[in-house]
Amino acid sequence: MHEPEKGKRIMSFEKILIANRGEIAIRVMRTCREIGIKSVAVFSTEDRKSLFYRLANESYLLKGTEIQDTYLNIEKMIYIAKKTGCGAIHPGYGFLSENPTFVDACESAGVKFIGPKSATMKKVGDKARIKKIMEAAGIPVLPSFENPDDTEELADIVRRIGFPLIIKPTFGGGGKGMKIVYSEPELVPAIQFAQNMGRTAFGNPAFYVEKYLENSRHIEVQILADGQGQIVDLGERDCSIQRRHQKLIEESPSPALNRELRRQVADLARRAAQAVEYENAGTIEFLFEDGKFYFLEVNARIQVEHPVTELVTGIDLIKEQIKIAAGEPIKISKKRTVPNGWAIECRINAEDPESNFMPSPGQITGYRSPGGIGVRVDSGVFMGFSIPPQYDSLISKLTVWGRNRNEATARMRRALDEYVILGIKNTLPLYRAIFREKEFLKGKHATSYIDKHLQGLLQDVEQHTNKFQERMLTSIFHNDRGMPVCDAYLVNEEFPVFYT
């Protein structure tokens, strides 16, 4: 274990601006408080009744009605950082976290960006270019072609690599704009979809065509890299349970890998990080099928699922990010990088699985979080909080640790049964069904799991939900006088804030 920090401030960072919201902002604030750094929060008008900014040392309102005016506004972020004397900015995930223009602006303003350098961001952000860099470094990639010019070239691509294919925006992320193509009539509409999404969401219509693996596992490796050229891997995470190419459940280690395969993918990840001169925390993602790994992409930021790695290593990844940004070398023993036990995370989203995971914003009318040994909840919500439609549908992240996978899955099943969220559709019932399903419990699932099992899982949800909700509502949410009893935060409207 690391020696206690005892509130010691890391180098020259007296304050850090957190350019994000919700649970990840709270997560960064917690580490800042532990190591003696003051945190500065920003929040939009839609987040006036949120919890996260009230936990910071200082808070500033970002005026504006559009995301471009608030959490995507680089000028405002830099202005507030300079005004408050922040030596660094932590971007969290999403929003500006992988924007090289933001990194350049931070560097120009003399504010340290807690993440990789701009040059690295530009390399890894271009999904077509990064594949060429990895191929040149001897890292296996899937066959792909960028921006085919005409139908003749497209037909040639189909002949060479065959169906199924997947069409992706070149500068995309988070599964946006991706379409799997199984036959020729689906090809042009899929390309148009990727181009439109690329243009509107990422400012560039470029796309590429890639071979699609139908029975692959999604394996990613958490790495840390410092300014002295040291690269450390912290084991892999299996993120194969997905909907629309976006992760739902993550675990570490992967049930699909043995010791030799684990060593192979860790070696590939370190080589990939070296190929782009990576610095700070990042994730190297691969597809795994028939005993072979294929490079997928680099996530140049802290991942949503980082608690999984923290639970099996005992390493605070946010703390390591801040240390690296402050110029400190990595001081983690090799023994610490070997996973201890098993961790699993469920992303609890405000979505309706019965309606193709349609977002379900609205007010949480009842809330009771689970607890007990080996249970961690990362969240920024409370009873009475309204999930805003403008932002990601994530409610919380429920992560458990066990000595092995059987204990971890049993603990997650118990924690899911304790977790109650009322007032909005959410993914809790679906997860309860997944943690009763045999293929998942055996660890035999692939990225196609949700498509393959969704109908059966929804039938399981229907069978168990009414009985479960009746028990929770009567035993947890009401006392003998009919008064609600649950977790809640009193959100004080008079909380002092500063305005830009």
Determine the Cα–Cα distance for residues 211 and 162; give it in Å rounded to an integer.
Answer: 8
Tokens read off for 17: 């601006």
Q: Are 435 and 412 in contact (CB under 8 A)?
A: yes
Q: Are 15 and 39 in contact (CB under 8 A)?
A: yes
Q: Which of 301, 347, 405, 432 is catalytic?
A: 301
Known active-site residue 301 = yes
Give the length of the chain: 500
Give CA torsion, residues 494, 497, 498, 500, to 10 deg.
Answer: -100
Q: Which residues carry out catalysis? A: 301
